[in-house]
Amino acid sequence: MTTFSRRAAAHWAASMAFFVVGSSFTDAATITSAPFGTTQQGQPVVQYTLANSHGVSITCMTHGAIVTRIDVPDRRGRRADVVLGFGSVADYERYNGNIHFGSVIGRYANRIAQGRFTIDGRTYQLPINDPPNTLHGGPRGFDEKLWTVVRTFQNNTVAGVQLRHVSPDNENGFPGTLTVDVTYTLTDDNEVRIDYRAKTDKPTVVNLTNHSYFNLAGEGSGSVEGQLIMIAASTYTPTRADSIPTGEIASVEGTPLDLRALTPIGARLRSSFPQLRHARGYDQNFKLDKPGQRDGEPAFAARAYDPASGRVLDVYTTQPGLQFYTSNGLDGSVAGVSGTTYRQTDGFALEAQHFPDSPNRPSFPSTELRPGDEYHEVTVWKFGLR
């Protein structure tokens, strides 16, 4: 069984080139802001763009704390947006409630069986939005809220923005007033660091992630089936047909889920393996071999690579699980920011998170948060070239 840590992943980094600083790029990290329209309720939305000296930039907005674009150069220095998204707040409001492009997911990423869980002997019922279960915190989750900017910061090597949402007691049935902060930081090492922090005034459950859909060839460029993926996980959590875990921790050995070496995303996508049939593609939670520790150093979790452009994405996290999703729900019904219609496999998501249905699975890592404690998880996206 192979395990990975950030230090042990150094041999991966050796195959990656640093971006060349171009004359059109700034000499220091910067942060800029610009209006991005208004919500249906007339609330102004602002976008914040963080940029570094190597031509990498990330843009997020106050609506949903959503990542709307990430621009990264290829091996020839040509920049492209490598995440799927929309060009207006109106389109995010109209379509993104079921798609979640770039979204911060909360209060609970992934599924809770029958929308029900128990804490301290009391059972809580959530709205069912993925029958018969609750998905991504229920209807009108965190990605449909207007977030407040707490602060921005920058120096020569980093730029960042911290956003906050206060979720009231009993929002979508979850107990406790939950104060959530999400901080995006871009470094001069081409890392996007996401810090998630939360505090509650009542015992509750929390599981936060970001649901960006990546296409390392560039948004609107078509299928990612030829791009390569590896996930540092020897086991996964099998699910029933309704995507709720059975409770088993199963080996990936001998299955299409064995992605411990770089593998074309499309190589096994059409397998008759039951887990892939249930999900209509990849949509599984992998138990990371060596997860990072809360308030500690994030550990290596996954790598994606596009041979055509040379772009590489490495993922590090403190979370115990990683949901790999091949955009199975995209069916040609929406067009993205470039005007291109999105279809299945036009992007992939690598959602670092706790396991689905953990509140009902005592053997899974706990997602409970209690007053006086702080939830703090970190995910890092590191971009490079090969």
The answer to whether the annotation marks 110 as part of a ligand binding site is yes
Which among 358, 352, 237, 361 has a CA at the least distance from the CA of 299? Answer: 352
Strand bridging mode 299-305 / 311-317: antiparallel
Which among 218, 20, 231, 211 has a CA at the least distance from the CA of 105? Answer: 211
Measured distance CA(182)–CA(14) in Å, rounded: 31
Which among 294, 295, 117, 292 has a CA at the least distance from the CA of 205? Answer: 117
The answer to whether the annotation marks 211 as part of a ligand binding site is yes
Measured distance CA(141)–CA(178) in Å, rounded: 13
Q: Could you give the residue ranges of the DSSP H alpha helices within the chain?
A: 10-13, 89-99, 274-279
The answer to whether the annotation marks 236 as part of a ligand binding site is no
Catalytic residues: 211, 351
The answer to whether the annotation marks 213 as part of a ligand binding site is yes
CB 336 within 8 A of CB 86: yes
Bridge partners for 305 per DSSP: 228, 312
Q: C-alpha dihedral over 265, 299, 70, 104, to 10 degrees? A: 100
Listed in sequence order, the residues at least 6 apart from 188 whose beta carbon sits closer than 8 Å to its beta carbon are: 29, 52, 53, 54, 156, 157, 158
Q: Which residues of 50-71 are buried (b: 16+ CB within 10 A; e: fewer)?
A: bbbbbbbbbbbbbbbbbbbbbb
Q: Is the link from the previous residue into 116 a cis peptide, with omega within 30 of 0?
A: no
- Which of the 8 DSSP states describes residue 36? E
Q: Return binding residues for beta-D-galactose.
A: 110-111, 211-213, 283
Q: Return binding residues.
A: 110-111, 211-213, 283
